[in-house]
Structure 1
Amino acid sequence: MTKPPAKQTKANRVSIKGTPNKGHRIVLSDEDALTDLFGCDAPEMASGLMSHCLKVLKANEASDDFASNDERSFMLEAIKELAPRDAVERMLSVQMAATHVALVRSARWLANADTLVQTEAHYSGYNKLARTYTAQMEALRKHRNGGKQTVTVQHVNVEDGGQAIVGNVQRGK
C-alpha cells in the first residue's frame, strides 16, 4: 500500500537549501508560493521578508551541513501558522519567529552554563527574550482586534432569603 502524497501547505511549498557561506537557494513549488506564505501581493516584499528570516539565524541554524540544528523550516512554518494579514503582521510574524528561535537558543545556553556569571547572563537574556515574545503576541492580538477588549457584565438581583451562585451551572443527568 503506497502512502498518499503529503498535502502541500503554504510553508512546505517553499524550501531553502544551501549554506550561508555558499549561498541559499530558495525552491518554490509554484510562482506564488513565497507571496502566499507571507500573505502579500508583492514578490519584492516576500523576498525581503525571506531574507530577514535568514539574516537572524546563526550559520549552523541555516545550513544543510547542520540538519539537526536547521531552523529555516521552523521559521517558515511559524509564519504560516501566524497567517499574517497585512504588512504589520507580516513583519511582526518574522520578528516573532526570530525571537522564538533566539529564545530557544538562549535557553540552550542557560542549560549549559557552568558558572554563576554565565548563568546570570544567560538567564537575563532569556528573560528579556521571553518578555519580548509576550509583548509581540500582545501586539499581534491588539492589532488583530483593533485594541478592543470585550468585557461582559451581567446584573443579577437576589431577593431577601434567596441565594446566588456565580459560575457555570449544569443540571445532573
Structure 2
Amino acid sequence: MSTAPDLAMPTTITATDPAKAAAAPRIRLLSHGFSIEHPDPELGERLMADALGVADREAMHGIIRQLVKASASGESSDEVNLAFMISMVKSIKPRDSIEAMLVAQMVSVHVMAMRCAHHLANADDLAQHDSAARALGRLARTFPAQIEALNRYRSQGEPAITVQNVSVGDGGKAIVGNVTQHASVIVSDKNTVSAARNAPKASGSRRRPASADAKRKAQA
C-alpha cells in the first residue's frame, strides 16, 4: 500500500475560505516543464512567490526549476520529492531572495545527503562504501554550516539594546546614566555623571570647615 500523496487531485481553493486561499499551491510536473495548480493562475503564482520568499515571477520560476532538477531521481524528476522540497522551503519561511537561494540549497543538500545515506546502506563493495561515506560526510558538514549562515544573515540589522543601569569599568569608575550597548561597545549619554570623579570633591568639602575651626581654636 502506497502512502505517497495523491498529487493528481486538484487543489480546490475558494475565495470564501481565506485560510485555504492563503496556502501556497502545489506544483505539477509536465513533459515540457511544470505548472502551478491553482484556480486563479495569477494568484497562484503570487502565493508561490511569497512562499518561496522571492519578489517576482522570474525569480519564482527560477527557484522552482532548480528544485525540479535537484529532485530528479536518475533521469526523471520526482514529483513527490519535489513536493517535499517545496514544503521544506515554505516551512523555513525565507524572507528575501538571498534567503530563498540559501534555503533552496539547504533543502537540496539534505536530499543529496539522504541519497548518499541510501547508497551507503546498499553499497556492494568497499569502493562504493567509501565513496558514499565521503560524500555523506561532506554534505553532513555543509548542512549545519548553511544553518549558521542563515541565522547569521537573519540576525543582521537587529536593534541595539539600551539598558538603564550602573556600569562599572576598569579602574573602578562608575558610569551612571543611560547606557547603550551594541556588540562590545558601551556608550553613555551626554548627561552621564562619573561617581568616582565627584567623590574626592565631596570629601574635600567636608574637611575644609573642620580645618578652619581647628585654626581658630589654636589662635585663641
Same fold by TM-score greater than 0.5: yes
Q: 2:65 aligned with 1:51, yes or no?
A: yes
**Any conservation in 1 of the 2:71–2:78 contact (CA below 8 Å)?**
no
Higher RCO (CA < 8 A, seq sep 6+): 1
Amino acid in the other structure paired with 1:55:
K
**In the alignment, what sits opposite 1:134?**
144
- Deviation, 1:16, is 2.3
Structure 2, unaligned stretches of length 5 or more?
Answer: 1-12, 14-18, 159-220
Identity of aligned residues (%): 30
Q: Which residue does 1:168 correspond to in 2?
A: none
Cα shift at 1:59: 4.2
Cα 1:47/1:115, change in 2 over 3 Å:
same
- Greater percentage in strand: 2
2:102 aligns with 92
Residue from 85, 90, 110 that aligns with 1:80: 90
Change (3 A) 1:73 1:48: same
**1:81 deviation in Å?**
0.9
Aligned position for 1:121? 131
Q: After the TM superposition, which of the residue ranges 35-44 and 103-112 deviates more from structure 2?
A: 35-44
Q: What residue is the counterpart of 1:171 in the other structure?
A: none
Structure-2 residue corresponding to 1:162: none
Which residue pairs with 1:151 in the alignment? none
Residues 75, 8 of structure 1: alpha-carbon distance in 2 compared, 3 angstrom cutoff: farther
Q: Give the number of equivalent residue pairs.
A: 136
Native 8 Å contact 2:25 2:37 kept in 1: yes
Task: Please state whether the residue corresponding to 2:153 is helix, strand or coil.
Answer: helix
CA-CA distance at 1:24 after TM superposition: 3.2
Q: Give TM-score, length-normalised by structure 2.
A: 0.55
